Structure 1
Amino acid sequence: MNLVVTILYSLAVLSFLFSIYFFLGYRSQKKEWNQTVKKIFPEEERKSIISRWGERFDERESSQALKNKLHNANLKLLPSEYLGILIVGYMALFVLMFSIFSMPIMVSVLLPLVLITLVNYLLFYFRKNSYEHRFNDQLSEVCRILGNAARSGLTINQGIDLVAREVSAPAGEEFKRISNELKMGVTLENALRTVQKRNKSRDFNLFIATLLIQKKTGGNLALTLETMANTFEDRKVLNQIIKTMTSEQKYISLIVPILPILLLLVMNNVIDGFIDPLWSGFGLVILVLFLAAIVLSFILIRKITDIKV
């Protein structure tokens, strides 16, 4: 009986020691894994109280829509930073209207709010595809690098890793994410589909389809990528020519609405009560027609110069 108790006690102690050993090994592996993840996905450290408030705001679900808009507009700002810029801009416009241009207090409060709202809308309207445009401009370079890697005998995964090191942002950052996901065991198709959710352009869809089809069916990947690179470069040159030819009209579309408003504010600063008739019944009609004409001219000029290839 004593022998059985001794054996059971020894087994219990041995099991306890083994459990401690495996637990310490698990903690060590978990620590190494966390360090690896932090190296791949580094986090910015914030120290001030305002920064911590901003971080809490950025983590809210309600700020995700603004975060996506900033990403698509290719603005490297956090939602809290962008909101702070809008608040500072509103305060600066209020001081400008009330102190410098001698506008009434109600106008100085409401007009900057209208201007900030308008600027916010126009910013995201005209830059809604800025991220895609910059990404697509780099696709020719990406195809060249992948094609050269294929000629050198490298795999697609190795070529993507090379693109992540050689190409600048934004394409470089996206391919760096793809490279990290591939190293963590994610399939090539799933990694590419993840990026496709953020960039749904026609050129990138063609690029993804080419890579996936070539990987499944085989063929001369280097020649296919070289042909794609030439096509993307020709389209890029054509877009640049169109942009150069329409640049004057685009600047005119900005000058036309800004110049009369600026002249009106300057005249109100020179002559006291210059804009007071605008707040009367007939003056409000003229003001509405004036603003409508400015907005219409801006939209028409932009529509005429918006040539898609």
Structure 2
Amino acid sequence: MLSSTWPVTGIVLLACVLGVLGIHTYARGTADRAALVARLAQSGEAQDTGRRRRRFRSLDRRLRRTAFGRKLDLRISATGLDVTPGEFVAAMTVLVLALWIAGQAVLSPFFGPICGLVGIWVALGFLNWQRQKRIEKFINQLPELSRILANATQAGLALRMALSMAADELDAPAGDELEKVAQQLAVGTSIDDALGELAERLPSRELVVLVTTLVLANKAGGTVVSSLRNLTETLEERKETRREVRTQLSQVNLTAYAVPVIGIGSLLLIDNMQPGALDRMTGSGLGQVAVVAAFALYVVGFVIIRRFSKIDV
């Protein structure tokens, strides 16, 4: 008779996947709605109703006073998600508690804290994945951004006006990020500070080169048009090179994620073949040390494979 471990495990994993997809869909829908309301408000067809009502405001205020909260807020703003640090920490806490309880019920009480740590890793990994995906989209738009700035500068527009025009013409995420830069410039922020904050939100070599070119041109003047046109060609070549490298390393990246999945699957297989085996294994100190060492080795293997597959272009 088959154990009930597999159905429970499948339900828990399905709930986690659906939860992550639900948060992602909700955030994208909220961002699309905000963009639609903004366009309608500009055309006079509708009034901007503002942002949605925030939850966990007290927790959000406490987090923003800490260094961790400020770093978390900067990272969330780079993802483009309409989520506050307080809401993210609350959702991560619920995920950790759910995985903790599921690990204790499905495997053994010893695996509860380990599953809780996995929940923290999943939440932060989702945030990094959204941030990296947005950075990639922004990098792909940099050649067009450089081309627009070169044309606007050649037409005699100041750099502030060129950035504002690029914010209106480009789609998200470049349009949204340049809109923030334009708003900062409108309230008196210097170009150096506004562009420097943009490079800090979306760190990449391509953006750093573009920001450095614009800052130097703004300070010293010179042939900014020719510099931007040369930069446009360079960014186009780097875009193609990055795409080829990412395609070549796709199998290696898949292997990095397959290694820990195989380890977890082996534990579930052992518990299914011999019910109660995990309880007996983690009932002694030696078994607990062996499990922790095994998980640590899987983490080390994951990190090493990811390091080998990371090629800076």
Instruction: Give your verdict on TM over 0.5.
Output: yes
**Counterpart amino acid of 1:44?**
R
The answer on whether the counterparts of 1:74 and 1:130 sit within 8 Å (CA) in structure 2 is: no
Q: CA RMSD in A?
A: 3.3
TM-superposed deviation, 1:123: 5.5
- CA gap of 1:179–1:266, structure 2 versus 1, over 3 A, is same
- CA gap of 1:152–1:255, structure 2 versus 1, over 3 A, is same
Matched, 1:230 2:236: no
The answer on whether the counterparts of 1:67 and 1:79 sit within 8 Å (CA) in structure 2 is: yes
Matched, 1:139 2:145: no
**Equivalent of 2:84 in 78, 85, 109:** 78
* Larger RCO, structure (CA 8 Å, separation 6 or more): 2
Counterpart position of 2:169: 166
Q: Which moved more, 1:232-241 or 1:181-190?
A: 181-190
Matched, 1:46 2:53: yes
TM-superposed deviation, 1:254: 0.6
- CA gap of 1:266–1:90, structure 2 versus 1, over 3 A, is farther
- CA gap of 1:125–1:193, structure 2 versus 1, over 3 A, is closer
The answer on whether the counterparts of 1:144 and 1:229 sit within 8 Å (CA) in structure 2 is: yes
> What is the number of equivalent residue pairs in this alignment?
264
Which whole-Å CA distance do the structure 2 matches of 1:291 and 1:181 have between them? 47
Gaps of at least 5 residues in structure 2 are: 1-47
For residues 78-157 of structure 1, the aligned pairs below 5 Å read 78-99=84-105, 101=106, 103-104=107-108, 106-107=109-110, 109-120=112-123, 132-157=135-160
Which whole-Å CA distance do the structure 2 matches of 1:282 and 1:59 have between them? 42
- CA gap of 1:190–1:257, structure 2 versus 1, over 3 A, is closer
Counterpart position of 1:292: 296
For residues 242-253 of structure 1, the aligned pairs below 5 Å read 242-253=245-256
SS in 1 for 2:110: helix
The answer on whether the counterparts of 1:267 and 1:274 sit within 8 Å (CA) in structure 2 is: yes
Which whole-Å CA distance do the structure 1 matches of 2:192 and 2:88 have between them? 34
- CA gap of 1:225–1:59, structure 2 versus 1, over 3 A, is same
Tell me the alpha carbon deviations over residues 134-190 of structure 1, each in whole angstroms, 9 at most, x when there is no partner: 433322121011122234443322221111112233332221122223334444344
Q: Which moved more, 1:209-218 or 1:157-166?
A: 209-218
SS in 2 for 1:262: helix
Matched, 1:69 2:60: no
The answer on whether the counterparts of 1:94 and 1:109 sit within 8 Å (CA) in structure 2 is: yes
SS in 2 for 1:138: helix
Counterpart position of 1:241: 244
The answer on whether the counterparts of 1:72 and 1:130 sit within 8 Å (CA) in structure 2 is: no
TM-superposed deviation, 1:301: 1.1
**Counterpart amino acid of 2:241?**
L
Which whole-Å CA distance do the structure 1 matches of 2:100 and 2:141 have between them? 41
For residues 147-296 of structure 1, the aligned pairs below 5 Å read 147-199=150-202, 201-269=204-272, 271-279=274-282, 280-296=284-300
- CA gap of 1:59–1:45, structure 2 versus 1, over 3 A, is farther
The answer on whether the counterparts of 2:60 and 2:85 sit within 8 Å (CA) in structure 1 is: no
- CA gap of 1:190–1:260, structure 2 versus 1, over 3 A, is closer
Q: TM-score, normalised by structure 2?
A: 0.70
TM-superposed deviation, 1:261: 0.9
Gaps of at least 5 residues in structure 1 are: 1-40
Q: Which has the larger radius of gyration?
A: 1
TM-superposed deviation, 1:52: 3.8
Tell me the alpha carbon deviations over residues 57-98 of structure 1, each in whole angstroms, 9 at most, x when there is no partner: 455445223212334566553212211221221233244334
Counterpart position of 1:304: 308
TM-superposed deviation, 1:197: 4.6
TM-superposed deviation, 1:265: 2.1
Q: TM-score, normalised by structure 1?
A: 0.71
**Counterpart amino acid of 1:85?**
A
How many percent of aligned residue pairs carry the same amino acid?
A: 26
The answer on whether the counterparts of 2:150 and 2:229 sit within 8 Å (CA) in structure 1 is: yes
Which whole-Å CA distance do the structure 2 matches of 1:182 and 1:285 have between them? 56
The answer on whether the counterparts of 1:58 and 1:78 sit within 8 Å (CA) in structure 2 is: no
The answer on whether the counterparts of 2:95 and 2:119 sit within 8 Å (CA) in structure 1 is: yes
